[in-house]
Amino acid sequence: MQLTRISHRLTVEARDEKCGPRALLKTITPAKTLLLLACCLWACSPSYPPAPETTEQEVVETLHGVEFRDPFRWLEDQNNEQTRSWIDRQNAYAELIIGQSPLRDAVHQRLKELMDLDDAGSPQRAGDFEYFSLRRRGQQLPVLYRRPKPPGEARVRIDPAEEYETVIDPHLLSEDLSIRVAIRALSEDGKWMVYSRRTGGQDEVELRVRDLTANRDLEEQYENGLYDQVSFGHDSKGFYYVLRSRETGPRLSYHILGTPVTEDQDQFGNGIASTSFMRARLAGKDGRRIFSVSHGWARNEIFLQETPGGLVRDMTQGLTAHFEARYHEGRLLVRTDFKAPNYRVVEMDPKNPGPEHWRELLPEHSDVLQSYALIEDRVYATYLHDVSSKIRVFDLDGTVAGEIPVPDFHSASIEAFGKGKALLSLSSLTRPEIKYLLDLKSGQREIWKESKVAFSEKDYEVKQVRYASKDGTQVPMYIVHRKGIELDGKHPTLLYGYGGFNASQTPRFRPSTAVWLENGGVYAMANLRGGSEFGEPWHCGGMLENKQNVFDDFIAAAEWLIGQGYTNPKRLAITGTSNGGLLVAAALTQRPELFRAVLCGFPDLDMVRFHSFTKTNNMPALLEYGDASDPEQFQFLRLYSPYQNVRQGVSYPAVMLTSGDLDTRVSPLQARKMTAALQTATASGLPVILRYDATAGHAAERGLPRGKMMENTAGELAFLLSQLGAGGP
């Protein structure tokens, strides 16, 4: 009998200390765990890895008059020997449950075909060279290369078959391939490069300065920190950078090459709170700089510095909205949702920035204005129409000048690409990204870059539906499946959602989705409140005290799929990561009977204590979720916080949680505690497992080399497919 099938029979009642791995796991090493557990399966069903008996199991505390019991507080100590031992046993147990099966092997092989492809970044010009990253087929990490700059404005494709001069090869920096590098800034004269070194998936990076002539690093080095927006001054004598401190907030500083980093001077940011983050960029050859200070994801401010070292002026004082500013031929253009929930573009007078002096360039549309590009005296505006891209063209005075055709149910973007040309990118749920070189005058397109993925999109149908949430709100959802399926309620179905942080979930190709579809599954993506699909009202409808709306939207999506005959609760799985991990955890604790399996990745879960550990993680998220130290916000947080709402004796679905030590954005302690809580509480006999990687985190593909990413994804899909009784076309 395959281990993946045995996992269906697991029961939490089998906790006999004399029989089974509960007793064995106390004495054996992690290396022996898999073998002994596999042998023991034949005699009795395994129990979950136990907590050490010497650990104090429960902490009781009162917050705002409400008593909470936390039996797994000890798992918050990441470096404690008992915690590390528990993690090792959890990983061994998870591998036992997933099992090495023909299904998992086949999924892994297919993912390799879909994911192990050449991947080149966009070249950046500096001096006589172009610099770029390239990860060739079979390589684990992107390598930094350079090549001679093509003549004039020519744009030449990066050919993975060619040999290029290596600048930095990260494969040589660590034995476990946990360090990756990225270009952060290049000086205009081509002499200097600032690059980052990231260890694992942590948000923090180290900064290094490289002499590109000698191809070696300078002595000045920056220790791990939240660095962003690095840019050289036009004289190439130094560079600016933003460093966000979790204690004091973000600051823009300037470093003069050849001087100690301790002598860097703050340029802007004093007084900005640690719950805010900042962007800073040059806005022209004359040294003008635009600052954007975001207070959570619901509003930001913009500041303008017109001369280096000059006065910094607030352009949006007293206004509560989103603002995105840029200069174009001396004009300060601002995309904003101030008095325009779907956004508009206005021209702002730097000397008189008040709204009464604005000149409207693009008025608000019935669709959300996502972005715009200024290409050869025209504005190419990308709108989101029912969660599908539309590109409309305007003259600089706002006159309508046409439209760039985009297929239905696609995501699109456009950028300038040489005289009379633009680069148009298209992607959908069944089509990998393809980039076209677009002739702006004739409209003719030729393929510039195409992903060589062997996936037959013609075999699948994409549709969009709308369903009613608990309060009657109509919510859109994409559904993908093989053509001609019968709605008999028996299809293995995977429902995905996010719903938060003003982030829209648009149609994009994912290899894991392709494998799910090829194995007979239905895939659904619900566009929940909390995102930006329908402007700021849609976002606000799913944040702070309205967060329960997101969970209601998601649960209603599951009920609709069941009611319409796509699936049934025994064949329905849900998946989400980060804020989406919070989403699926809230769904499984509120409606456990609706789902058969849950994939909960790098999640926020303990919202009652969230404010206490965000001091070392993601402070700005308090403005999106709420802060339980506030008595009013505590009331809505405690009602949905998944960790506090796990109930003893409930038949919970099969659950896989994932996390890692180097997630410095979402505290991994939450996944550890939630795993222990569900394992203790569930009465379903279905497995609850934790897959935990010491180097994994939120950033840069989880901080894992490509091979490890494919292995992990194969394990996740095998878990879901086996739990739903799926697999095979």
**Residue that is written with structure tokens 């909390």 in the block:** 530
Nearest CA to 89 out of 45, 43, 41, 23 is that of 23
**Residue that is written with structure tokens 């209603």 in the block:** 556
List the beta bridge partners of residue 148. 129
User: What radius of gyration, in Å, describes the C-alpha atoms of the chain?
Assistant: 26
Catalytic residue among 178, 187, 292, 578: 578
Q: Taking 70 as the threshold, does the pLDDT of residue 728 lie above it?
A: no
Q: Which pLDDT score is estimated for 310?
A: 86
Average the pLDDT over 45-74 and give the result. 82
Nearest CA to 162 out of 127, 134, 124 is that of 134
Domain ranges within the chain, ordered by starting residue: 101-113+455-723, 119-282, 365-452
CATH second-level architecture of 119-282? 7 Propeller (2.130)
Structure tokens at 32: 């022996």
Q: Which of the four pLDDT bands, split at 50, 70 and 90, describes residue 50?
A: confident
Residue 415: its H or E element:
strand 411-416
Q: Which pLDDT score is estimated for 40?
A: 39
Catalytic residue among 255, 427, 698, 722: 698
Q: Taking 70 as the threshold, does the pLDDT of residue 38 lie above it?
A: no
Active site residue 611: no
Q: Which of the four pLDDT bands, split at 50, 70 and 90, describes residue 726?
A: confident
Q: Report the largest interatomic distance among the alpha carbons of the chain, rounded to a whole angstrom.
A: 81
Give tens-digit pLDDT for 113-165. Answer: 999 999 999 999 999 999 999 999 999 999 999 999 999 888 899 999 999 99
* DSSP letters spanning 628-688: TTSHHHHHHHHHH-TGGG--TT--PPEEEEEEETT--SS-THHHHHHHHHHHHH--S---E
Q: Determine contact, residues 643/554, Cβ cutoff 8 Å.
A: no
Q: Which pLDDT score is estimated for 385?
A: 97
Q: Which of the four pLDDT bands, split at 50, 70 and 90, describes residue 223?
A: very high
Structure tokens at 709: 């990413």
Q: Which of the four pLDDT bands, split at 50, 70 and 90, describes residue 46?
A: low
Q: Which of the four pLDDT bands, split at 50, 70 and 90, describes residue 1?
A: very low
Give tens-digit pLDDT for 487-517. Answer: 999 999 999 999 999 999 999 999 999 999 9
Q: Which pLDDT score is estimated for 243?
A: 96
Above pLDDT 90, what percent of the chain? Answer: 85
Average the pLDDT over 708-713 and give the result. 97
Average the pLDDT over 387-413 and give the result. 97
Residue 284 has φ and ψ, to the nearest 5°, of 150, 165
Q: Taking 50 as the threshold, does the pLDDT of residue 386 lie above it?
A: yes
Average the pLDDT over 378-394 and give the result. 98
Active site residue 698: yes
Q: Taking 50 as the threshold, does the pLDDT of residue 110 lie above it?
A: yes
Structure tokens at 381: 């505006």
Q: Which of the four pLDDT bands, split at 50, 70 and 90, describes residue 282?
A: confident
For domain 101-113+455-723, the CATH superfamily is Alpha/Beta hydrolase fold, catalytic domain (3.40.50.1820)
Same fold, 101-113+455-723 and 119-282: no
**Residues contacting residue 682 through CB under 8 Å, at least 6 positions apart:** 12, 650, 651, 652, 688
